[in-house]
Amino acid sequence: MSKINAALIGSGNIGTDLLYKALRSDWINPVWMVGIDADSEGLARARKLGLKTTHEGVDGMVPHMQEDKVQICFDATSAYVHGENNRKVQEQGSIMIDLTPAAVGPFCVPPVNLKDHVGKRELNVNMVTCGGQATIPMVAAVSRVQPVSYGEIVATVSSKSAGPGTRKNIDEFTQTTAGAVEKVGGAKQGKAIIILNPAEPPLMMRDTVHCITEDEPDQAAITESIQEMIREVQKYVPGYRLKNGPVFDGNRVTVFMEVEGLGDYLPKYAGNLDIMTAAGLRTAEMFAEEIINGTLVLQPEVA
């Protein structure tokens, strides 16, 4: 079966973890990795695995995109540079899967709204944040049962798994996640909190989701909906687990999640990488399928 050639922009934690997952994909063929540091460990790994690399940013790859038929790019850099990266690769006719919290394109949280993106001819979709991918399915699991007036998520990741991009973009992380708790999760008001915990050995990603329902929560229906949604997420992140809850306290519904990664790049504690990269890849595969079956035709703006 043919695959669609893809480029990974960003050679940090997310980009490198995504590389390993993309190499196993039936639809995506990673051919380029773009970095900005010649000594980057991610670029060295990519070269070893047979990808072309550049340490001159997107500009180092753009002249080769046509010849190498790059049709899908993943941006795993930072919200600050995403706009420019996006413009440059779209000029070359590539779709952009945005793994930064820039939120230029519409949000995609696969178990909740991947199907909404089918056939839309979107050239940029945003994967929210790792915290968003881990929690928004739970908010949606409650809001599909009954109206949620307020959704709040607390994402805790180990310090080691939060790279410089995440740290420089911490405001974008909370703002983008809160926005997607509303737009994708279905809460009328959204709030997001992120904690970086430096404990050794590193803690596994933890996510606490609080929903306030408008009326008294239907405990049985919500519990069932949550269990069903967990099974959906587990299809692409097997280590996504309910640790405690759901707790029902008045109109508050709280679930305590744990996300164990596959350990592709960072060890298994860094489930925050996996849930982001697996979601990004899942989304890219949907687009790749559309390109292959001819329903999505991409053309460079500059011949």
Partner 1 sequence: MNLNGKKITIHDMSLRDGMHAKRHQISLEQMISVASGLDAAGVPMIEVTHGDGLAGASVNYGFPAHTDEEYLRAVRPHVKNAKISALLLPGIGTVPELEMAADCGVDTIRVATHCTEADVSEQHITKSRELGLDTVGFLMMAHMVGPEKLIEQARLMEGYGANCIYVTDSAGYMLPDDVTQRLKAVREALQPETELGFHGHHNLSLGVINSLAAVEAGANRIDGSAAGMGAGAGNTPLEVFVAVTERMGVETGVDLFKLMDVAEDLIVPMLDQPIRVDRDALTLGYAGVYSSFLLFAKRAQQRYGVSSRDVLVELGRRGMIGGQEDMIEDVAMEMAKAQGVQQ
Binding footprint of partner 1 on the chain (CB under 8 A): 150, 152, 154, 156, 159, 164, 167-168, 170-171, 173-175, 191, 193-200, 203, 206, 208, 210, 212, 243-245, 247, 252, 254, 256
Nearer to partner 1, 22 or 187 (CB): 187
130 catalytic? Reply is yes
Nearer to partner 1, 30 or 131 (CB): 131
Is there a contact between 127 and 276 (Cβ–Cβ < 8 Å)? Answer: yes
Least distance (Å) between residue 133 CB and partner 1: 17
In whole angstroms, what is the distance from residue 234 CA to residue 237 CA? 5
Nearer to partner 1, 30 or 165 (CB): 165
Beta sheet of 148-158, edge-to-edge order: 187-197, 148-158, 205-213, 252-259, 240-249
Nearer to partner 1, 37 or 171 (CB): 171
The position carrying tokens 């050794």 is 200
Least distance (Å) between residue 232 CB and partner 1: 23
Least distance (Å) between residue 152 CB and partner 1: 5
In whole angstroms, what is the distance from residue 226 CA to residue 144 CA? 10
Q: Give the active site residue among 73, 108, 130, 211.
A: 130
Is there a contact between 138 and 226 (Cβ–Cβ < 8 Å)? Answer: yes
Q: Helices 130-143 and 271-292 meet at what angle, rounded to 10?
A: 80
**CA–centroid distance for 103 within its chain:** 11
In whole angstroms, what is the distance from residue 106 CA to residue 193 CA? 21
Least distance (Å) between residue 19 CB and partner 1: 25
Which active-site residues does the annotation give? 130
